[in-house]
Amino acid sequence: MKLLRYGAPGEERPGLAAPDGTLRSLAGHVGDIDKAMFDDPARLSSLRALDPATLPVVDGTVRLAEPLARIGKIVGIGLNYHDHARECGAAIPSEPILFLKATTSLCGPNDAIRLPEGSQKTDWEVELGVVIGRTARDVTAEAALDHVFGYCVAHDVSERAHQLEHGGQWTKGKSHDTFCPVGPYLVTADEVPDPQALHMYCEVDGLMRQSSSTAQMIFGVAEVVSYVSRFMTLAPGDLIITGTPAGVGLGLKPPTYLTRGARVRLGIAGLGDQHQSVV
């Protein structure tokens, strides 16, 4: 299933993308796409049994929201692609690098990115998002994917000066409002047979900046989920963003960053595309 949420901010409703490309309403079948839905196996089974063609069609011009409501936490993985580590001149990490990103940074996949006041170094980062479906605590890598509900496109927008030049940890540069567009879909894990074989890309103002594959991950999804679960309990509805490949603005020579008026397009094979303007 390709689950989604649509509507104005604060008025989002659950839906799905049908095989014919139309958006369909799930009103009356589920209250929202959230932890409560994950905790109800019967509800999930009933959703899977639905014929999308029987559901009401949603106007295709409607705003798409982040496809998961009330995310508990966002856990980021830094420097997790071989090609990205090389472009940054960084050593390959011996263990995953973890950081937290504020949930207030979440927004819809096509919402505008708002530059912070005085920002000079806001950067783009296309990432594979992993949504937890079952509580994970000290799980093995072999069992980790059994705890994944699905996958989505995430844009880990990063203000590099705030991230790297203001002391402390990376969270400062990662957590501004609109710095985590997610979606358009939450694609259930059964439709992603190999999360390590997905092409991903990011264009800025029509220039291809990132074009790579999740095969470039240093620590794959199963290893990441297992590792994070050693340090914190992962609850249903938590989101892990798993790192970005080469081609970020920080790695260009000279470094190049987002400016007001820029347009960004990014996506991952099978998971959909995002389109954002910078304001």
Query: Residue 269: which CATH number?
Result: 3.90.850.10
Q: How confident is the model at residue 58 (pLDDT cuts 50, 70, 90)?
A: very high
Same domain, 60 and 74: no
Domain count, the chain: 2
pLDDT of residue 45: 87
Q: What is the mean pLDDT of residues 180-197?
A: 97
pLDDT of residue 167: 82
Same domain, 54 and 83: no
Same domain, 144 and 261: yes
Q: Is the pLDDT of residue 145 over 90?
A: yes
Q: Which range marks the domain in which residue 168 is found?
A: 70-277
Same domain, 253 and 123: yes
Same domain, 20 and 82: no
Q: Note the pLDDT tens digit of each residue in 40-52.
A: 888 888 999 999 9
Same domain, 118 and 213: yes
pLDDT of residue 168: 78
Spell out the alpha helix ranges (H) of the chain.
35-38, 41-49, 82-87, 141-144, 160-164, 171-174, 221-231
Same domain, 188 and 217: yes
**Residues 86/47, Cβ–Cβ less than 8 Å:** no
Q: Note the pLDDT tens digit of each residue in 146-179.
A: 999 999 999 999 999 998 888 878 889 999 999 9
Q: Which of 17, 36, 64 is the endpoint of a domain? A: 64
Q: Is the pLDDT of residue 20 over 90?
A: yes
Burial 122-135 (b: 16+ CB within 10 A, else e): bbbbbbbbbbbbee
Q: Which of 31, 64, 97 is the endpoint of a domain? A: 64
Q: Residues 6 or more apart from 266 whose CB is under 8 A from it?
A: 124, 126, 153, 155, 200, 201, 202, 203, 210, 273, 274
How many Cβ atoms sit within 10 Å of the Cβ of residue 173? 26
Same domain, 51 and 134: no
Query: d(Cα 152, Cα 131) in Å, to the nearest integer?
Result: 8
Higher confidence at residue 123 or residue 170?
A: 123
Which residue(s) pair with 202 in the sheet? 210, 266
Same domain, 89 and 41: no
Same domain, 55 and 103: no
Q: Is the pLDDT of residue 194 over 90?
A: yes
Percent of the chain, pLDDT > 90?
88
Same domain, 28 and 120: no
Q: Is the pLDDT of residue 89 over 90?
A: no
Q: Is the pLDDT of residue 235 over 90?
A: yes
Q: What is the mean pLDDT of residues 18-34?
A: 95
- Parallel, antiparallel or unpaired: strands 239-241 and 74-78: parallel
pLDDT of residue 255: 95
Q: How confident is the model at residue 236 (pLDDT cuts 50, 70, 90)?
A: very high
Q: Which of 43, 64, 85 is the endpoint of a domain? A: 64
Same domain, 52 and 176: no
Q: How confident is the model at residue 97 (pLDDT cuts 50, 70, 90)?
A: very high
